[in-house]
Amino acid sequence: MHPSSRDAASSVSPEEIARFGALADKWWDPSGPMRPLHAMNELRINWTNGHLPLRGRTSRRVRVLDIGCGAGLASEALAKSGHDVLGLDASPDGIEAARLHLDHQPLPDGSGPLTYRVGSAEELVEEKARFDAVIALEIIEHVTDPERFMCMLADLVEPGGTVIVSTMNRTLKSLAIGKIGAEYILRLLPVGTHEWRKFITPAELGRYARQAGLTITAIAGMTPGLNGWKESRNLDVNYIAAFRKS
């Protein structure tokens, strides 16, 4: 049995929230500081859609929690796929940017409902909230305690539900490409976006998941190319994994 997430210190890092909150008004600029997320978003969402439960527990819609949603890149895409989405982020600035974008560019017909909330995973666990799927994309490497964070993801998903996590592997290649190259050489990301020592290996993520009562069902690398990001067997830098709760 995994340790209760209610006993954990907050997963939210004030420094990380301040850093990403300062970028909120530029989040939706595909040429701005979040352009790597824009570039990989189609792959992330397609892969996620391919590994979600076929339907929700009470309707044909899958009820999805997008933790660490920022200004809503993934949340909007998931809603456009027809899911019932709650985007959660601890940054008020990020959520304000998400709501403003949704107000200015409403979702097309056929989309699922999308709502946003300022808050933390701990608050939802305390409320005993449960979802068909919980998505945490490029967030676990920014939390204070990734092991306990995985426990909270497990607490928030229904039995038989899906947890999907994407993150960065801690390798020399990711140090060269994902940290030094992206932040200092190519300037794809603001300097200080990532702390390489907080990157998580697939083995570590798998161990955290097992301790949380989750079983891995799929894992894939995400690799940039001339024609966009592609699914890959190479897990050296970016990767995405799906887990099932028994």
Residues that constitute the known binding site for S-adenosyl-L-methionine = 44, 68, 89, 137
Residue type present at position 12 = V
Cβ atoms of 121 and 9 within 8 Å: the answer is no
How far, CA to CA in Å, does 168 sit from each of 61, 132, 172, 218, 236?
A: 30, 25, 12, 16, 8
CB 76 within 8 A of CB 107: yes
End-to-end CA distance of the chain: 12
Tokens for 91, please give them: 């940054």
Q: Taking each helix axis as running N to C, give the angle between helix 92-104 and helix 14-21, from 0 to 180 degrees, rounded to the nearest 10.
A: 30
- The amino acid sitting at 103 is D
- Cα-Cα-Cα-Cα dihedral sign, residues 178, 180, 182, 186: negative
Quote the tokens at residue 95.
């959520």
Q: Please state, in angstroms and rounded to a whole number, the distance separating the CA atoms of residues 12 and 121.
A: 9
Binding-site residues: 44, 68, 89, 137
User: Measured between alpha carbons, how far is 77 from 153 in angstroms, rounded to an integer?
Assistant: 21
